[in-house]
Structure 1
Amino acid sequence: MLINKLIRLSSQDSVRKLTIWSLSILLLFLGFYVNLWRAAKPAWFESHQRDTEAHIMGRMVKSRHDGIFSAGGLNGDGIIEDIPKQWESASGLQRQYIAYLNDLAFDRFSTYNSQPGGQGMLFSLFDKLLPLPFKVKLQFFYVLTALLTAIAISAVISWFYQEFGLWVAVCVLVTTLFSGWLTVFGKNLWWSTWAFYLPMIAVLYYLKRQREEADRQFLRFGILVFIAISIKCFINGYEYMTTTLVMMTVPCVYYAILEKWGKQRILKFTLATCIGSGVAILLSLIILCFQIGTIRTGFVDGITHVIYSIGKRTYGSAENFHPVYAASLDAGTIEVVLKYLNGVYFDLNNYLAKEIPFISNWIFRIRYSYLIVFFIGVTVLLLQQIKQTISPEHRQQYFALICTTWFSILAPMSWYVIFKAHSFIHTHMSFLLWQMPFTLFGFALVATVFNRKRR
């Protein structure tokens, strides 16, 4: 009888997990693919980062005519010298899409050399294998990318459900649906947003299932980190690399506090993380240098480009770079961080016919600085609950959630501070980092507090 009852309970729990997972994927996919929840203004949704995505179009055209590994397999833009008259007025960006959809060939090809271009290679492979019209294939690529991003974030939401229950999972899901930045990035072929979350998800579920120390545990963990980071580097290169690395360690902080890891275990996991990720990044950079070498004069040119690229994105001396980078290199770190604190997470004006100047700008636009203040208040409330009303067996879990939430803010901040020059220029896109994964954990904190008050 007891065994049968346990089997039924296990089955019911599995059904609930599957339901949460499926519903989350569906709702997120609809937001990422067609902006169904209007989290972003239609014009923004349709145009966001089309310039970078055009590099993927260019790569697929180049691959179609010259092979997937032509031009080192790197992404880039093509030039058609004698373009048909009906497309003469099209911009360089538009011509990449025109060339792909109309099976035109490039006369010249300019590569983007700061990432391996794995996503372009994979889409090029699919483009060759799928016997479909070009328009249908392009939509398939969007569907695939939006779906993978929805699956990745749903994996995080499912973890919240397993750790903290239905109310917390639903809250994280709903607030994520209305993130304008995740919405506009969700199906972009260049960014392939799911790859940023992959290392964190791998670590999250590994630590959840490996709760006790075992033989070769740290070796397996290091290999897992190596594989996850290698995939990320291959798919979208070194974009937001520090954020990805810090985000990957977020589950370690949670389980270290929850399970009260000893110093030796912390040290071993730290070493496994550093070695696994370090080797993955180094190997990826070596491959990139060889790729660059195939289109220039050799491997050393690749090294030179990597060093130059890091310098212009961080704290290089302005006099050593093109004048266009001077303002970003000379900008103060605090100035950059303040810009991102002022960014908008959710805009209520998307649902209004008319905007009221002050109210629309400072009240209806929910800024990240507002969320941080709100999360601080919620943290204070939860700390009070831990002291007064939460049972001893659950205190450590909620304390772990608090610590993990505030550790996770280091993920976006790491990029804003270390890659200050890049962040200064790219204020049209780097607000996405607040969702990696700080806001997800922040809203989990909110749901936890209000769920307990509701009870």
Structure 2
Amino acid sequence: MKATKRKKQICRVARWLLTAAAILLLSVGLTLWRHNGSSYLTGFWDNGSQTLVFGRMLQMQQNQHSPGGFMGVYTQDWSDQQNRYWYRDNTPMDPAQFQAYTHQSGLQGWGLGILNKVLSVFEDSGEARETMLYTANSILFYAATLCICLAVGYGIGWVPALAWLTAAVFAPWPQRGMKDLYWCLWTWWLPALAGLLLCAVTRARGKTPRWCYFFVFAACLVRCMCGFEFISVFLILCEIPLVFCWAEALCARRPARPWVGRMTAAGLCALGGVAAALGVWFLQGMAYYGSAEKSWANLSGAVTSRVSLTDGAVSDVTVGQVLRRYLLEINEPLVQIGPVTVTLLPLAVAVLAGFVLCALALRVRGRAASRELFPLFCVWVLSFAAPLSWMVLSKAHSYVHTHLVPMLWHFAFVPVSGMVLAALICRGAKALLHKR
């Protein structure tokens, strides 16, 4: 009996290791195939902000900690890319040449600074190390995407999982942004991965261990320590998997109330992670400014301006204007496969049409369409609400940063739309082809 149990444990560990190895190899392959390590072949997304990270890495490489010790430092001219050129040339720096950036906690600058110091042992060229860091960021983004694909494959189907991956691989915005050292797009998926892990463990065990909630807390903490912008999107991403499980249980007439409790607990843990990140930021401010009052003024000023409470530059801009800008006026490709491009409104219309046609196909076969489609519809609506939530919460940031906000459609509206559309096609075709 003990030998059989041990053999099963060994098989389980071996399966996990093989899966992890496959994800890593495929992530490397996708990065090389799509040239994500190159700073020239795919272009940049917000190249100005990541100069903060280059300045911080250069400081750490030269064992400097002033000014600030925050995520980044910049020269007198914001976004002038000078830090990047200094980093490439390993230029000796005087701390007086920098200003501290005090609106972030700065975990990514510190983490990449450590990785850069390790890489500098083997590679003296700053340009070569820059490519290595881009490559590492891209591999992590693909790895997070593939982990979500696995969850989709086991939970919904492998064709929808392939659609999710296709939406990520052929999306122009993430192709430019996944290498960005400031935003670290792979961390944007951490709350969603924590929610998926909680759902998978709960389904397997019939109950939710406490450590699952800790992962939700940690995922939101790490994400916010790499930047608080777009925070409402990440919080919704964390809840989407739990909402799917709740809707599925409700439609199957299984107890759904426990999932409401899990959604509440996960939400509280996510907010706890946000609060902890704010606490770290506040303590950093105290160390830098020398007083709690100045630290609080800096923190509260940054937060309230981000959510349009104190930014007078857009006091006359309405939420309707912001939404119209991103729903109707900005019509850039969200997915591009050769000459074929997909934009926002056609994608939304295609998914809605898919729901209608699939419901008709199920009804023709005498099956309850609402029961089978309700979980997918909940996920799709929330995926649409996630990017819109930031546009509503932060009209100032959104109205000005049109080079940043469209990225939010990929977290998670675009991949979810691809996944849902594929699932609808599969279910509709199966219903029509299935013999009575």
TM over 0.5: yes
Question: Quick one: which of 117, 137, 141 aligns to 1:128?
Answer: 117
The residue number in structure 2 matching 1:176 is: 168
Contact 1:76/1:112 (8 A) holds in 2:
yes
Is residue 183–residue 227 contact of structure 2 (8 Å, CA) maintained in 1?
Answer: no
| 1-structure distance, mates of 2:372, 2:415 | 17
Q: Check 1:124–1:79 CA distance in 2 against 1; reply closer, same or farther (3 A cut).
A: farther
Deviations 1:352-372 (A, max 9, x none): 7xxxxxxxxxxx763212211
Residue aligning to 1:355:
none
- Is contact 1:221–1:272 with CA below 8 Å preserved after alignment? no
Letter aligned with residue 293 of structure 2: V
Distance 1:34 1:441 in 2: 23
Q: Contact 1:178 / 1:346 at 8 angstroms: preserved in 2? A: no
Quick check: 1:64 aligned with 2:61? yes
What pairs up with 1:233-252 in 2 under 5 angstroms? 233-234=224-225, 236-252=226-242
RMSD: 3.4
Aligned to 2:51: 54
- TM-aligned CA deviation for residue 267 of structure 1: 4.0
Whether the 8 Å CA contact 1:314–1:329 is kept in 2: the answer is no
Distance 1:138 1:263 in 2: 49
Q: Report deviation, 1:232.
A: 1.2
Residue pair 1:56, 1:189 contacting (<8 A) in 2 also: yes
Q: From the superposition, tell whether residues 350 and 397 of structure 1 become closer, same or farther in structure 2 (CA, over 3 Å).
A: closer
Matched, 1:102 2:92: no
CA distance in 2, matches of 1:192, 1:206: 23
Amino acid across the alignment from 1:306? L
Alpha carbons of 1:292 and 1:316: their partners in 2 closer, same or farther (altered >3 Å)? same
SS in 1 for 2:342: strand
1:113 is matched with which residue? Answer: 102
Between the aligned partners of 1:19 and 1:283, the Cα distance in structure 2 is: 33
Which residue in the other structure is 1:75 paired with? 72
The residue aligned with 2:268 is 275
Match of 2:321 in 1: 335
Q: Kindly state the Cα deviation for residue 423 of structure 1 after the two structures are TM-superposed.
A: 0.6
The answer to whether the 8 A contact 2:44-2:180 is kept is no
Aligned residue among 353, 364, 376 for 1:388: 364
For residue 229 of structure 1, the aligned residue among 216, 220, 227 is 220
Matches within 5 A, 1:147-166: 147-166=139-158
**Count of aligned positions:** 411
SS of aligned partner of 2:333: strand
Aligned partners of 1:186 and 1:32: how far apart in 2? 11
Q: Please report how far the alpha carbon of residue 93 of structure 1 lies from its aligned counterpart in structure 2 after TM superposition.
A: 2.5
1:225 to partner: Cα distance:
1.2
Residue 385 of structure 2 corresponds to which residue in structure 1?
Answer: 410
- Structure 1 residues 151 and 307: CA distance shift in structure 2, 3 A: same
The equivalences for 1:342-361 within 5 A come to 342=328, 343-344=330-331, 346=333
Q: Distance in 1 between matches of 2:398 and 2:31?
A: 28
Native 8 Å contact 1:312 1:329 kept in 2: no
Matched, 1:431 2:406: yes
Aligned CA distance change for structure 1 residues 95 and 390 (closer, same or farther; 3 Å): farther
SS of equivalent residue, structure 2 residue 74: strand
Q: Judging changes above 3 Å, is the alpha-carbon distance between structure 1 residues 268 and 308 closer, same or farther for their aligned structure 2 residues?
A: same
Structure 2 residue ranges without an equivalent (≥5): 431-436
Q: Deviations over 1:131-157 (max 9, x none)?
A: 121232222111110000011111112
Letter in 2 for 1:95: Q
Q: Assess, with a 3 A threshold, how the Cα gap between structure 1 residues 454 and 30 changes in structure 2: closer, same or farther.
A: farther
The residue type paired with residue 360 of structure 2 is: Q
Task: Give the deviation of 1:259 after TM superposition.
Answer: 2.2
> Structure 1 regions of 5+ residues with no counterpart?
37-41, 81-90, 353-363
**Could you say which residue in structure 1 is the equivalent of 2:307?**
314
Relative to the length of structure 1, the TM-score reads: 0.80
Structure-1 residue corresponding to 2:185:
193
Structure 2 partner of 1:444: 419
Alignment partners' CA distance in 2, 1:124 and 1:268: 40
Aligned-pair distance for 1:117?
A: 0.7
Question: 2: distance between equivalents of 1:246 and 1:341?
Answer: 20
Distance 1:163 1:395, change over 3 A: farther
The aligned residue for residue 375 of structure 2 is 400
Asked if 1 retains the 8 angstrom alpha-carbon contact of 2:306 and 2:394, the reply is yes
